[in-house]
Structures are given as structure tokens and as C-alpha cells.
Amino acid sequence: MSNDGLRVVIADDHMVVRQGIRTVLEEVPGLRVVAEAGDGAEALRLIAQHKPDVAVLDVTMPEKTGLEVAQELRESGSEIGILILSMHDEPEYVLQAVRAGADGYVLKDVAPAELRKAILAVAQGKEYFAERVTHQLSVGLRSEVESEQKKTRVGSLTGREVEVLVRIANGQTNREIGEELGISPRTVETHRERVMAKLRVRTVAGLTRLVVEHGLGAE
């Protein structure tokens, strides 16, 4: 933290929002908003110029998004506290913010006291994610883990099992698949059972979803 107190740069493409944030933050003794940016490119320029302790970044801005600004700051080696302030609470936004190097993420409908608390936290090198956002982050991470597990299970299939899987998803019968691949319907059924066991899927609809998700039927 600077000798003249906690210095903050605000970046949001709506002036009214920036003014509201400034009003809320400047109630904190020793905190000073040193600059305001209306887009991501300007935010980077002002951060380089003023060297603040914390940057409050909106997710969606012209020129560069808040996530792009955060990523560029981290790639440059900056240790500035980065707080994403957003109207989006979907898991993918929160995950992207974490990957970009944000220290915190709060929603625009957050209470003034919580916004001030978040600013002070990231200024001290801590992380701060609003309770609602934490839940969404958990949902997003769980979804990612499940997706990776599916990829691993799909990767365990043999070439022949993939051939059978794709044809099952296309609605072909065991006899049709056997004739096309030159194997018996009984062998096709064996492959079908192995595929379902490996993928932990027991319905044709579930198998079809996996084929689509992983592009297995694509040329």
C-alpha cells in the first residue's frame, strides 16, 4: 500500500456506475480513487500511470474486457489487487475471472459495506468472492471436473468401441452395425456393454449426448 493510503482505479463503461462506486469507496478513511476508466484499454493506461493498489474492473467493457485487462496485468507481472465487479453470476464468468488472475469477484447489486470489504481484502493480498459467487464457482468447478472425467472415460475406449458407439448414437441396430463392421451382432452387443460400462451411461440418449459433446461422429 502506498504511503498516501489505499489507491484505487475504477474501470466501468458507465459513468453513473463509476460515480456510485467512487462514492461508496471514498467513505473508507485513507482510501482514494485516483482515476476512472471508461474502457479496458484506458484502464491499462491509467493503471500504468497511477500504479494503484487495487483495480476495480467491470467484466464487459469496450476495447478490452475486465478479464482481458486482468490477464494482461498478471502476464506483465503486476501484483496489483484485482477485483471484478460484474452483473454476471454465471459459473463460466467466475471461472474465467479466476483464470485471468482476479483476486476477487463481487456482483453489482452487492451492498456498499461488502464492496468496501472486498476492496480492503484484495488490497491486503487476500481473495474475496461474494457468497453467491462462491456457490457459482463451486458449480463451475464441479462441471469442469465432470467434463474432464467424461473425456478420460471416452479416451479409454478402443477404436472398435468408438466405431460401435458412433453407430449406436446414429440409431443403428446391432445387426446393422455388425454387417457394416463385419462382426456378429453378438460381438456388437459385447462392445455395447463394454462401452456403457466404461462411460457409465446406460441409455442410448446418454451415449448420443457424449458422441455430440466430444465430436466423435464428426468427419
Q: Are residues 12 and 119 in the same domain?
A: yes
* 76-94 pLDDT per residue, tens: 989 899 999 988 877 778 8
Sign of CA dihedral 174, 175, 180, 182: positive
Beta sheet of 81-86, edge-to-edge order: 31-37, 6-11, 54-58, 81-86, 104-107, 128-129
Contact between 37 and 11 (Cβ < 8 Å) = yes
Calpha distance 201→204 (Å, rounded): 8
Q: Are residues 69 and 133 in the same domain?
A: yes
Look at residue 203 in the predicted model and tell me its pLDDT. Answer: 83
Q: What is the CA radius of gyration of the chain?
A: 25
Spatial CB neighbours of 28, under 8 Å, sequence gap ≥ 6: 6, 116, 119, 120
The domain boundary residue, chosen from 82, 104, 138: 138
Average pLDDT, integer, range 174-183: 91
The domain boundary residue, chosen from 138, 169, 187: 138
Calpha distance 73→48 (Å, rounded): 10
Average pLDDT, integer, range 202-208: 81
Q: Are residues 82 and 178 in the same domain?
A: no
Q: Are residues 131 and 32 in the same domain?
A: yes
Q: Are residues 162 and 113 in the same domain?
A: no
Structural domain span for residue 36: 6-138
Q: What is the dihedral of CA 44, 13, 114, 107, to 10 degrees?
A: -110
Contact between 162 and 153 (Cβ < 8 Å) = no
Predicted confidence band of residue 12 (pLDDT cuts 50, 70, 90): very high
Number of domains the chain contains = 2
* 28-77 pLDDT per residue, tens: 888 999 999 999 999 999 999 999 999 999 998 998 999 999 999 999 98
Residue 105 pairs in a beta bridge with 84, 129
Q: Are residues 103 and 27 in the same domain?
A: yes
pTM of the model: 0.63
Predicted confidence band of residue 219 (pLDDT cuts 50, 70, 90): very low
Look at residue 1 in the predicted model and tell me its pLDDT. Answer: 56
Residue 167, Cβ density class (10 Å: 0-12 exposed, 13-18 middle, ≥19 buried): buried
DSSP 8-state symbol, 5: B
Least confident of 64-68, 135-139, 189-193, 205-209: 135-139
